[in-house]
Amino acid sequence: MAFTVRVNENFASAFKTKANEASQVTTAPTANTVNDGTRIALNFTNVPAGVALYVPVGAISSSQGGGKITLNGADAGKTATTVTASTATPVNGLGLAAVTLTSGAGSVNFEVTADDNNALDKYDIPVYIVTTANGATASSTGIGVAVSLAPTGSTVIPNFVVGSNTTTLTASTFNACTTSLLFPFVTNQLGFDTGIAIANTSTDPFGSTKGATTQAGTCSLNFYGAGAPSPANVTTPNVPTGTVYTQVLSGVAAGFQGYIIAQCNFQYAHGFAFVTNGVGANGGLSQGYLAGVIPDVNQVNRATGTGESLAN
């Protein structure tokens, strides 16, 4: 998973190498010595726990003109240093280095290593997001990235200030992997009882590229209607991948009639309900149905986030 940060040069020759920066500054007195070329800082915030960010270590070419920027491992005012790739396998032909994060925040800077005074340079900097399966913490706030020239608040040459119009862009948001199921009618009244089954189908025969990622978790059964238990929700035991949780209504909400919304802490949950007033020779009326899957607007392919369906 990745997102791209686009950096545009607003006027030709704004981005300069160290040599071209020096050509614009008198060397007397010595304090006027140029320390480095134009640097572009990417400042990340709100990176969830369990998430790592990576950026390219090789030169990134401008899509307009002949400019190039390269990830710089040195502090402001120090000679640019080469950053060693921290990934064993290149991604899209690029060696990558991890962004150092502290409490969900971190920054990297790129230095102009080639400039083009006759073009408006445009750089698309890819940022790769890496996490293990079920390893990221869900967050309602997306990863943020603010772009500025660098360094700021420094006496080295060149140095910059962060403009008042600098905004933080929203990148990726991590949402909990869940499934919400609707059982529209269940009853344990007038001699009837209802059996419910919730299948965790995250084990399948389709392989790692086309199939599901195995998951497990509990489900919260929320009761709405006459005779709802207090509190009006019950948490199931953990439902391992490839298994089915079963329960009769009389065992968790005796005397209840209404509907249930089951919130499962895993994807690919599917439900079935069976309403009966007896089985075997003494059995009477019975009816079974599939639970509806309530679309989640935060998950992939949820176009509207409204209504119910019989499939994910």
Residues 184, 156 within the same domain: no
Q: Are 171 and 143 in contact (CB under 8 A)?
A: yes
Residues 165, 214 within the same domain: no
Side chain identity, residue 98: A
User: Which structure tokens are listed for 12?
Assistant: 């030709």
Q: Is residue 310 part of a domain?
A: no
- Count CB atoms within 10 A of the CB of residue 251: 12
Mean pLDDT of 153-163: 80
What distances in angstroms separate CA 116 from CA 147, 188, 220, 267, one per listed residue? 21, 77, 60, 50
Chain mean position to CA 213: 16
Residues 190, 151 within the same domain: no
What pLDDT, in 10s, does the model give residues 227-271?
999 889 999 999 999 999 999 999 999 999 999 999 999 989 999
Residues 153, 22 within the same domain: yes
Residues 25, 120 within the same domain: yes
Q: Is residue 267 part of a domain?
A: yes
Measured CA to CA, the distance from residue 250 to residue 192 in angstroms comes to 9
Q: What is the pLDDT of residue 223?
A: 97
Residues 68, 86 within the same domain: yes
Q: What is the pLDDT of residue 79?
A: 54
**With bands split at pLDDT 50, 70 and 90, how would you rate the model's confidence at 80?**
low
Measured CA to CA, the distance from residue 47 to residue 103 in angstroms comes to 8
Q: Are 247 and 196 in contact (CB under 8 A)?
A: yes
Q: Is residue 12 part of a domain?
A: yes
Residues 65, 206 within the same domain: no
Q: Is residue 303 part of a domain?
A: no
Mean pLDDT of 113-129: 90
Cis peptide before 29 (omega within 30 of 0): yes
User: Is residue 76 pLDDT above 70, yes or no?
Assistant: no
Q: What is the pLDDT of residue 307?
A: 44
Residues 17, 155 within the same domain: yes
Q: Are 56 and 90 in contact (CB under 8 A)?
A: no
Q: Is residue 143 part of a domain?
A: yes
Token pair 């002949």: residue? 66
Q: What is the pLDDT of residue 308?
A: 45
Higher per-residue confidence, 22 vs 300: 22
What pLDDT, in 10s, does the model give residues 170-208?
776 667 788 999 999 999 999 899 999 999 999 999 876
Mean pLDDT of 75-84: 57
Q: Is the pTM of this model over 0.85?
A: no
Measured CA to CA, the distance from residue 154 to residue 51 in angstroms comes to 31
Containing domain of residue 204, as a range? 179-294
Residues 161, 47 within the same domain: yes
User: Is residue 52 pLDDT above 70, yes or no?
Assistant: yes
Q: What is the pLDDT of residue 300?
A: 47
Exposure of 195 in the CB half-sphere (CA atoms within 13 A): 12
Q: What is the pLDDT of residue 306?
A: 44
Q: Is residue 302 part of a domain?
A: no
CATH number of domain containing 232: 2.60.290
Q: Is residue 301 part of a domain?
A: no
Give the chain's mean pLDDT.
83
Q: Is residue 108 part of a domain?
A: yes
Higher per-residue confidence, 303 vs 23: 23
Residues 155, 82 within the same domain: yes
Q: Are 44 and 101 in contact (CB under 8 A)?
A: yes
User: Is residue 4 pLDDT above 80, yes or no?
Assistant: yes
Measured CA to CA, the distance from residue 59 to residue 71 in angstroms comes to 7
Measured CA to CA, the distance from residue 119 to residue 289 in angstroms comes to 65
State which of 148, 170, 192 marks the end of a domain. Answer: 170
Residues 278, 131 within the same domain: no
Structural domains of the chain, count: 2
Mean pLDDT of 94-118: 89
Q: What is the pLDDT of residue 312?
A: 45
Q: What is the pLDDT of residue 157?
A: 81
Higher per-residue confidence, 97 vs 304: 97
Residues 44, 156 within the same domain: yes
